[in-house]
């Protein structure tokens, strides 16, 4: 399979706010000032697998292949590739590409980056390991030698951003920063990629600034020279800044603010379904919950309890009242229904039925319920803390007293990664619609090589493991489809997660800002034009 050349995306620029939420005015027509509720977690492209972090790092760092407007795979740092047998891929690299510090991009950097991303501190370790062993054939040719057939090899490759070996060695950044232990390092605050924008300033939780890379190898489609990103937790503050013209773009306006934005002159709203599922996870491994009232046993190990909690969720109330229609309820667990082959049975929810839920709690031995803490981010997903509070009220009707422990994403994700949780809200998505990137990190038992790395409930289901592993290595599309459907059905039957909805993501912008709203909620600066 050969790829054709393409014109890659351009990066727009964002201007920022001070940490006190005092807005910076007077930006030029080619400075894009934008905000959302959270902050990227690190500038290290292999340390954390979280959308906003990946998005901002993806303006500086590039991969061999990446996504176009329709999420189709296209060449970036590779110009072409071919599969030479089921276990070998060869890539021709783009010539005359330089990192931001002026050093040339070569096959050596690809080999270094893949091996770096396989480190135990990497949050994309499972994807990097699935690429096999990289080998530099010459300065502009790389082979990948696989151990097993990988039917989604190119999709895995698209997640891995390329770093400079020379720069990384010089700055002591040969390994990814261990975000779980709050490790510091040069790559956390600095960056050196090949992309269309350079990182010029990083002030965590204050602002992050990018400048256009005049030496970029690609063709700019937009006209933005500078980007200033500012995290602003308050929905009201973000919206007020957009309406006043002090911001050009808001990534995540709250659903309750959309009618006001739509009726405001000079402001526009663009929206569409995001490739992201929002769900509840539960500790199903420990004999006793870390943050629960029941002693000597773990109620989440009981299928009847998990079913009861599921059937006590009035998802229509969440959709209509809390999300203001800006959600798509589902019983599936893949970010996109495409991942489940649009199978209506896999998408079907358990019915909302309080009487059935109460009976199952009684049958499980918890007629009076129990207490538990629900960990929840308050600046990551749309109405995330509000969703947790709403669920707590619903489960109270079963006698389950839920303490909502809400916190910023910078605290939340390391807590989960330390497995310091009993119950949690999580969203899962990105550009890849294939079920593999749900099955391996989210549904399989935790193990070596990043397998089950995001299974923070630590459940282990032998049949699910068998089906998921087989689907990851099955080259026949029809056989693979059956394996994936069976694996997803097993998750559904065992209620290993409590699915809620897929997000519908609105963007708010000034009328003079032209943006491309991608299904993975990715803001590509290089596509942005300001008039």
Q: Residue ranges of the domains in the chain? A: 31-248+512-530, 274-504
Mean pLDDT of the chain: 93
Q: Are 339 and 329 in contact (CB under 8 A)?
A: no
- Tell me, what's the pLDDT at 210? 98
Long-range contacts, 459-468 (Cβ 8 Å, 24+) = 459/284, 459/285, 459/494, 459/496, 460/285, 461/490, 461/491, 461/494, 461/496, 463/490, 464/490, 464/491, 464/494, 464/496, 468/439, 468/440, 468/443, 468/444
Could you tell me the two tokens for 499? 């699915």
CATH number of 274-504: 3.10.105.10
Burial of 445 (0-12, 13-18, 19+ CB in 10 A): middle
pLDDT tens for each residue of 507-529? 999 999 999 999 999 999 999 99
Which pTM does this prediction carry?
0.88
In 3-state terms the chain splits into helix, strand, coil percentages (rounded to 5) of: 30, 25, 45
CA dihedral sign of residues 462, 453, 422, 337: negative
CA 432 to CA 65: how far, in whole Å?
A: 13
Statement: residue 12 has pLDDT above 50: no
SS3 state at 228 = strand
CA dihedral sign of residues 309, 311, 315, 318: negative
Q: Give the model's confidence band at 346: pLDDT under 50 very low, under 70 low, under 90 confident, else very high.
A: very high
What is the percentage of the chain residues whose pLDDT exceeds 90?
93
Q: How far is CA 128 from the centre of its chain?
A: 16
Decide the pairing of beta strands 73-75 and 513-514.
unpaired
Class of domain 31-248+512-530: alpha beta
Residue in this structure with the two tokens 């079907």, named with its chain if needed: 348
- Tell me, what's the pLDDT at 14? 31
Instruction: Find the range with the poorest average confidence among 9-18, 251-260, 304-313.
Output: 9-18
Statement: residue 347 has pLDDT above 60: yes
The residues near 151 (Cβ < 8 Å, ≥ 6 apart) are: 436, 472, 473, 474, 475, 477, 480
Burial of 228 (0-12, 13-18, 19+ CB in 10 A): buried
């Amino acid at each position: 399979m050969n790829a054709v050349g393409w014109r890659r995306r351009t990066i727009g620029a964002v201007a920022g706010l001070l940490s006190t939420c005092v807005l910076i005015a007077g930006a030029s027509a080619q400075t894009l000032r934008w905000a959302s509720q959270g902050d990227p977690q690190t500038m290290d492209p292999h340390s954390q697998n979280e959308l906003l972090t990946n998005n901002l790092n993806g303006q500086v760092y590039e991969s061999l292949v990446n996504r176009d407007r329709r999420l189709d795979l296209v060449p970036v740092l590779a110009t072409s590739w071919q599969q030479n047998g089921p276990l070998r891929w060869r890539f021709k690299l783009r010539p005359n590409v330089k990192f931001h510090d002026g050093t040339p991009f070569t096959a050596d950097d690809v080999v270094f980056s893949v091996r770096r991303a396989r480190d135990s501190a990497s949050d994309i370790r499972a994807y990097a390991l699935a690429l096999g062993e990289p080998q530099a054939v010459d300065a502009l040719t790389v082979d990948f030698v696989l151990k097993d057939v990988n039917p989604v090899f190119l999709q895995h490759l698209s997640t891995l951003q390329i770093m400079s070996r020379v720069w990384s060695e010089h700055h002591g950044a040969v390994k990814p920063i261990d975000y779980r232990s709050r490790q510091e390092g040069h790559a956390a605050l600095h960056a050196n990629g090949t992309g269309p924008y350079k990182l010029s300033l990083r002030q965590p939780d204050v602002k992050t600034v990018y400048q256009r890379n005049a030496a970029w190898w690609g063709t700019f489609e937009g006209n933005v020279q500078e980007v200033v990103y500012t995290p602003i937790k308050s929905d009201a503050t973000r919206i007020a800044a957009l309406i006043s013209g002090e911001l050009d773009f808001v990534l995540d306006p709250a659903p309750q603010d959309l009618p006001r934005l739509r009726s405001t002159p000079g402001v526009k709203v663009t929206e569409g379904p995001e490739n992201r599922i929002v769900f509840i996870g539960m500790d199903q491994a420990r004999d006793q919950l870390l943050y629960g009232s029941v002693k000597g046993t773990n109620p989440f190990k009981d299928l009847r309890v998990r079913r009861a909690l599921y059937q006590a969720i009035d998802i229509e109330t969440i959709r209509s009242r809390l999300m203001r229609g800006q959600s798509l309820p589902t019983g599936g667990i893949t970010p996109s229904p495409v991942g489940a082959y649009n199978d209506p049975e896999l998408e079907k929810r358990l019915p909302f039925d309080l009487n059935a839920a109460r009976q199952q709690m009684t049958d499980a031995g918890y007629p009076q319920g129990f207490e538990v803490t629900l960990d929840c981010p308050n600046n990551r997903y749309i109405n995330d803390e509000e969703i947790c509070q709403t669920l707590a009220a619903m489960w109270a009707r079963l006698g389950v007293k839920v303490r909502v422990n809400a916190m910023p994403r910078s605290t939340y994700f390391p807590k989960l990664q330390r497995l310091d949780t009993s119950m949690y809200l999580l969203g899962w998505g990105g550009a890849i619609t294939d079920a593999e990137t749900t099955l391996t990190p989210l549904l399989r038992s935790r193990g070596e090589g990043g397998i089950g790395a995001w299974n923070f409930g630590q459940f282990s289901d032998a049949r699910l493991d068998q089906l998921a592993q087989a689907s990851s290595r099955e080259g026949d599309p029809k056989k693979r489809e059956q394996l994936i459907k069976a694996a997803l059905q097993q998750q559904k039957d065992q209620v290993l997660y409590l699915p809620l909805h897929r997000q519908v993501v609105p963007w708010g912008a000034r009328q003079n800002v032209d943006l491309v709203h991608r299904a993975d909620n990715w803001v590509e600066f290089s596509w942005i034009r300001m008039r």
